[in-house]
Amino acid sequence: MASRDPVADLRRIAFLLERANEATYRVKAFRSAAATVAALPAAELAERAAAGTLSKLSGVGDVTARCVAESLNGEEPAYLRRLAATEGTDLQGAAAALREALRGDCHAHSDWSDGGSPIEEMALAAVELGHEYLVLTDHSPRLTVANGLTAARLRRQLDHVAKLNDALPDGFRILTGIEVDILADGSLDQEDELLARLDVVVGSVHSNLRDDSAKMTRRMLAAIENPHLDILGHLTGRKVAAAGAGDKGHRAGRTRPPSDFDVKKVLAACVEHGKAVEINSRPDRLDPPKRMLTVAVEAGCLFSIDTDAHAPGQLDWQRYGCERAALCGVPVDRVVNSWPADRLLEWTAGHSGGN
Ligand SMILES: [Zn+2]
Ligand SMILES: [Zn+2]
């Protein structure tokens, strides 16, 4: 039998584990094994597989060594076969049409903040999913638990992304961005000059989630009125029980009620200022709740169906957001990430006074 590509098989396993919301450390085993094997000359790899010494390599354990040996023998690794058998069913009808229409993702994290993978890994996974763009939105400075980027680190990231874009395939680009904290007074946690430079600004509430309704409403309105903000991230901040062990940034199993604010006022402000409401696809968020999403559709809001991915496989979570969007009647032309990159950028520049 012709041998398979063991690196591709290991990466596919990692992707499927991430998509299943498995713990980061489990996924890491496969990603580090893939990196080790990729760096090895083919002859040495074959020799080690024959001699049974693959697991002596640093980064390769018994399980990953078995996968590599099976791949080299031309068999689909049993581990991969088992995972592939548990893949979800295909999307149907309106949800499938929405997913098909999406050209990119406006909310994703890398290992520069609390994500598990380098930017290039995230970008390559987005390319494989058929995206035309991925907006990189690492956290802002005050979110220290998530290793938020200082202004200096964000500037370095912008230089790094420019270099990566030169090397990525034509027809795909990483757009620059941030998930900026909406601070207690409604201001945004990054320098104005930087916010103006970024392609897309997602603003989210991560602290003082139990503020009373009047205070939270004022805070959110101030953020929406800020010309730099483009997308309002995970509207209510709720956490729901989700399958899988979760990852560093968003541990599953801990639930949290939605925060309290004047939904009608906040959504009306989004419409007035042309800002998009995020439909956050994470299985442990699924935010906004369906009833609120229906109100947003009726109010005339724009939307962005995002994954908030912290690992490459999680970029495939858009299906969950699409299912909910379809149920609530979200029209595809009001979904900003169904637009080509140029139109998306025109929109973000349009309400920021020129960035
Ligand atoms: Zn967030
Ligand atoms: Zn996020």
pLDDT of residue 243: 60
pLDDT at 352 over 70: no
Tell me, in angstroms, the distance from the centre of ligand 2 to residue 318's CA.
14
Tell me, in angstroms, the distance from the centre of ligand 2 to residue 143's CA.
11
Tell me, in angstroms, the distance from the centre of ligand 2 to residue 243's CA.
19
Position 26 confidence tier, pLDDT thresholds 50, 70, 90: confident
What is the number of the ligand closest to the CA of 237? 1
Average pLDDT of 62-68? 95
Calculate the alpha carbon distances from 345 to 8, 131, 176, 188, 201 in Å. Answer: 34, 16, 11, 20, 11
Longest dimension (CA), the chain: 69
Tell me, in angstroms, the distance from the centre of ligand 2 to residue 74's CA.
39
User: In the numeric block, which tokens belong to residue 292?
Assistant: 């609120």
pLDDT at 355 over 50: no
Tell me, in angstroms, the distance from the centre of ligand 1 to residue 53's CA.
43
Tell me, in angstroms, the distance from the centre of ligand 2 to residue 308's CA.
5
* Percent helix / strand / coil, the chain, rounded to 5: 50, 10, 40
pLDDT of residue 30: 95
Position 85 confidence tier, pLDDT thresholds 50, 70, 90: confident
Task: Check: CB of residue 13 under 8 Å from CB of residue 80.
Answer: yes
Tell me, in angstroms, the distance from the centre of ligand 1 to residue 183's CA.
13
Among 125, 153, 253, 140, CA closest to 205: 140
Tell me, in angstroms, the distance from the centre of ligand 1 to residue 109's CA.
10
Tell me, in angstroms, the distance from the centre of ligand 2 to residue 178's CA.
9
pLDDT of residue 322: 97
CA distance linking residue 75 with residue 4, whole number of Å: 7
What is the number of the ligand closest to the CA of 233? 1
Position 250 confidence tier, pLDDT thresholds 50, 70, 90: very low
CA distance linking residue 102 with residue 234, whole number of Å: 19
Among 185, 272, 283, 196, CA closest to 234: 283
Tell me, in angstroms, the distance from the centre of ligand 2 to residue 187's CA.
18
pLDDT of residue 89: 74
Position 354 confidence tier, pLDDT thresholds 50, 70, 90: very low
Average pLDDT of 151-175? 97
Tell me, in angstroms, the distance from the centre of ligand 1 to residue 71's CA.
38
Among 135, 316, 123, CA closest to 230: 135
Tell me, in angstroms, the distance from the centre of ligand 2 to residue 283's CA.
13
What does the pLDDT look like over 278-327, one tens digit per residue? 999 999 999 999 999 999 999 999 999 999 999 999 999 999 999 999 99
Average pLDDT of 15-30? 88
Among 338, 311, 309, CA closest to 322: 338
Tell me, in angstroms, the distance from the centre of ligand 2 to residue 168's CA.
24
Tell me, in angstroms, the distance from the centre of ligand 1 to residue 247's CA.
13
